[in-house]
Amino acid sequence: MLNSVVQGILLGGLYALFATGLSLIFGVMRLVNLAHGDLSILAAFLALVVVRVTEINPLLALLVVVPAMAGFGYLMQRGVLNFTLGRGVLPPVLVTFGFSIIIQNLLLEVFSADSQRLNPGRIETASIAIGKELAIGWFPLITFVVAVLIVIGLQLFMSGTSLGRALRATSDDQEAAELMGIDNRRLYGVAMALALAIVGVAGVFLGIRTTFGPSSGPDRLLFAFEAVIIGGLGSLWGTLAGGIILGVAQTIGAKFSPGWGILTGHLVFLAVLFVRPTGLFRGTQ
């Protein structure tokens, strides 16, 4: 049981990484990016191609994947998504959902439905034994630490830099921020670039941790969404906690029956939603 909880916490770190990107975009521009999960899978496939061509370690492929995803995010935001904002509920939902379906099926056509995996070498199986029952894998531990560092980094970035302040200002009041000379269109592009850089990291770590295929995206979106809602909108630490709660629920559920892992996570999410719709940790936004 203790083992499941620890593995769940470590898995939760990865979910928090997905959720942070989703939460950042919603916070800044009130956009829910339905292609979020599929973009992370796109990043994993990109890493796969880099690894196949150059035969480097997938962790080094991050050096290519992260800037590529950031650039893609900036262009996607400025080229398309900016035109969906401020026009009601439907355009952003439809366009990002359209992207989700397009990315999934393009990956399907290019890479087939086979499941893939990124192999980082020895680190994948190496672990630290603690007592008889418990062994912590190095890789899940690294993933968790990276997730926490990214959350801390994002927190510092938002509070300490002028770009972060501009992002928070826009999130609080878009029109007032514009009057203060902030170029919202460009800022949204930067926010999406930042979010997709995080998604790029999350996608590569996911691809090392588990197998993935063209249709793995929607689940990632749902887990990210659940972590955000469990934690409470607008709270970065809450999102981390939400990811951990979801991860623990899934590993404990899977311990009872393999088919019940993801379902248990969903049910815990619905229970939180029913009891505390604002999430367990109230955010500031």
Footprint on this chain of other proteins (rule: CB under 8 A)? 26, 30-32, 34, 80, 83-84, 87-99, 101-102, 105-106, 108-109, 218-219, 221-222, 225-226, 229, 257, 259-260, 262-263, 266-267, 269-270, 273-274, 277
Closer CB to other proteins, residue 99 or residue 212?
A: 99
CB of 224 to other proteins, least distance (A): 9
Residue identified by tokens 């029109």 is 175
**Distance of alpha carbon 179 from alpha carbon 132, whole angstroms:** 62
Q: Minimum Å distance from CB 65 to other proteins?
A: 23
What is the full DSSP assignment across 104-156? HHHHHHHH-S--B----GGGGT-EEEETTTEEEEHHHHHHHHHHHHHHHHHHH
> Is the Cβ of residue 222 or residue 240 nearer to other proteins in the bound state?
222
What's the closest the beta carbon of residue 58 comes to other proteins, in angstroms? 27
- Closest approach of Cβ 152 to other proteins, in Å? 26
Whose CA is closest to 202, among 96, 55, 62, 107?
Answer: 62
Of 138 and 260, nearer to other proteins (C-beta) is 260
Amino acid found at 208: I
CA distance 224 to 217: 11
Which segments of 29-110 are extended strands (E)? Answer: none
